[in-house]
Amino acid sequence: MMLIAAGWITILLLVGGLTLDRTLTGLVTRNLDDQLGYMLTAMVASAEVDSAGEVFFNRPLGDQRFLEPNSGLYWQISGPGHDDFPSRSLWDRSLKVRAGHFDNEPHIYDSNQFAGEPLRMMERSIILPGSDTKWWFVVAASRKELDAQIRRNRLILVWSFIVLGAGLFLMAGIQTWYGLGPLRRVRMAIKRLRTTGANRVTDPLPLEVQPLVEELNGLLAHAERQAEEARMHAGNLAHALKTPLTVVMNAATARAPDLGDTVIREAAVMRRQVDHHLARARAVGRRAVGQSRATVAESVEAVLRAVTRLYDRTRFDLDGDRNAAVAVERQDLDEILGNLIENAAKYGGGSVFVTIDAVPDDPATCEIWVEDDGTGIPEAERTRIFDRGARLDTGKPGTGLGLAIVRDVAEIYGGTVELGESEDLGGLIVRLRLPRAAV
């Protein structure tokens, strides 16, 4: 920011200085030209031709410098076949006139015909009354005073712009330093988070950086929640494995005759626990990657193709909005729907009905219904069935983790699962609500 400000200030000062120098130089030069023009007009108005055909002034010019030798202000009248009529200030010198053309209007130019004394000259061609001669009226002034005034103006401009530039650079630096101060305070606040163990940035900061602080606090809260979830699930897994391991250890220590059956049974329990926590950990990890999106119909059709091979006598029906999409990773959505549809086929009476976006008026939630024609689940058991390992029908193979995984993964994405009684098929209906994906 300081380099950009310094660059623009330098460019603007250079352009402004050059423009102002040209303007002041032009004003000073035009002022001298106006004076020369006034003197030339006075010469023309005072000039006459005598009986011998020579030019003279009927009244003297008013400026005393015309009478002082080498005063820096000169005039001269020249004509073909006539001697030059010069001012006394020229002394023994004469002005070289650009003859060979006729100037109806005053002609101004610079000349170096006098060594060490540059001149500003104005000339005009005049034919006086009573004469056929083309007379050249010339008035000249030394440029020394003009050039000295221009140099003084430029010196003032240079020093003024140096002081102005230094002040602007200083103010730009102070402004940049002060303007970026809140970011330094944010950096120090983040540093204190590491050194003091605080979990939020609570320092009072300007409104301009407050959104950054809010996002940072949100990120810290998200990381804290993930760490707490990881600690909680690690503790849950350790607690869940502790009991089977104790049973196996006791059986092995006592050399129980059913040690083999005990190991197999308790290993199955541990495997269920590990599978459940791994599924939840995968869902949490994928949720943290970014905004997820999956089309529900594509996931349902993929699950139906797999489940149909296992339950070829079950009838599967699909209805609803096939374009509905949810903010869930496709792999997690497949796992949720796979558990629900497989449970419906396993415990139902032969019919499974899946409805996508059953409540289309809800702009924030996509509701998916999975219904079967089985015996359903008693209302008193609908809460307990979500517990890990809970099974109402132990005569059929399974781990008892299906609904627990569905509930946990759905909650990770901000969704819910609810059990009820199907009005159409008479069995169980599972109402799965997941956040709708942004369009």
Neighbours of 311 (CB within 10 A): 17
What is d(CA 300, CA 199) in angstroms, rounded to the nearest whole number?
Answer: 42
Q: Please indicate, yes or no, if residue 171 is contained in any of the structural domains.
A: no
Query: What's the domain range around 355?
Result: 294-435
From 247, 263, 287, the end of a domain falls on 287
Same domain for 6 and 139, yes or no, is: yes
Half-sphere exposure of 21 (CA within 13 A, CB side): 18
Alpha-carbon distance of 359 to 367, in angstroms, equals: 6
**At 60, is the pLDDT very low, low, confident or very high (cuts 50, 70, 90)?**
confident
Examine the domain organization and report whether 227 and 264 are in the same domain.
yes
CA distance 333 to 325: 11
Boundary-marking domain end, from 287, 304, 321: 287
Looking at the domain assignment, is residue 411 inside a domain?
yes
435 to each of 131, 245, 331, 370, 411, how far by Cα in Å?
108, 39, 16, 17, 10
Which is nearest to 419 in space by CA: 410, 434, 427, 429? 429
363 in a structural domain: yes
Q: What is the CATH number of the domain that holds 416?
A: 3.30.565.10
Q: Give the pLDDT score at 171.
A: 92
Domain-located, residue 182: no
pLDDT of residue 376: 83
The answer to whether residue 48 sits within a structural domain is: yes
Checking if the pLDDT of 134 tops 70, the result is yes
By mean pLDDT, which of 29-38, 176-185, 345-354 is the weakest?
176-185
Tokens of 43: 């010469």
Give the percent of the chain with pLDDT over 70. Answer: 90
How confident is the model at residue 269, as a pLDDT?
73
- State whether 129 and 53 are in the same domain: yes
How far, in Å, CA of 311 to CA of 165, rounded?
85
Record the tokens describing residue 287, joined without a space. 């949720």
The lowest-confidence range among 3-7, 227-231, 421-425 is: 227-231
**pLDDT, tens digit, 9 for 90 and up, residues 86-116:** 999 998 898 888 766 777 788 899 999 888 8
Lowest mean pLDDT among 102-106, 294-298, 334-338: 102-106
Same domain, 253 and 361: no
Helix axes 210-253, 259-287, angle to 10 degrees: 170
The angle subtended at Cα 149 by Cα 37 and Cα 35, nearest 5°, is 10
What are the tens digits of pLDDT across the range 12-41?
999 999 999 999 999 999 999 999 999 999
Q: Which tokens go with 301?
A: 């059709």
* Greater model confidence, 303 or 280: 303
Are residues 221 and 283 located together in one domain of the fold?
A: yes
**pLDDT level of residue 149 (50, 70, 90 thresholds):** very high
Do residues 95 and 121 lie in contact, with contact meaning Cβ atoms separated by under 8 Å? yes
Please say if the pLDDT value at position 291 is more than 70. no
| 3-state secondary structure at position 259 | helix
The CATH number assigned to the domain holding 101 equals: 3.30.450
> Which of 264, 287, 310 delimits the end of a domain?
287
354 pLDDT above the threshold of 90? yes
Which range is least confidently modeled, 206-210, 277-281, 406-410?
277-281
pLDDT tens for each residue of 384-404? 776 644 444 444 444 344 677
Over the chain, what is the mean pLDDT? 84
423 in the same domain as 327: yes
Instruction: Please report, for residues 31, 298, 307, 352, 358, the alpha-carbon distance to residue 295 in angstroms, rounded to integers and kept in the order given.
Output: 84, 6, 19, 20, 15
Q: What does the pLDDT read at residue 391?
A: 44
What pLDDT, on a 0 to 100 scale, did the predictor assign at position 287?
A: 55
pLDDT of residue 349: 87
Question: Taking Cα atoms as reference points, which of 270, 285, 283 lies closest to residue 239?
Answer: 270
- In sign, the C-alpha dihedral spanning 4, 6, 7, 9 is positive
Q: What percent of the chain has pLDDT over 90?
A: 34
Q: What pLDDT score does 2 carry?
A: 86
pLDDT at 393: 47
CA dist., res. 207 & res. 36, Å (int): 65
Task: Tell me the Cα Rg of the chain.
Answer: 51
User: What does the alpha-carbon distance between residue 331 and residue 350 come to, in Å, rounded to a whole number?
Assistant: 27
pLDDT of 17:
92
Rounded-to-integer distance, Cα 205 and Cα 187, Å? 12
- Looking at the fold, whether 257 and 396 belong to one and the same domain comes out as no
Query: Checking DSSP bridges between strand 107-111 and strand 135-142, what pairing results, if any?
Result: unpaired
pLDDT of residue 392: 44
What pLDDT is recorded for position 147?
A: 92
Asked if pLDDT for residue 367 goes beyond 50, the answer is: yes
- 226: pLDDT strictly greater than 80: no
The total number of structural domains in the chain stands at 3
Distant-in-sequence, close-in-space partners of 303: CB < 8 Å, separation ≥ 6:
334, 337, 338, 341
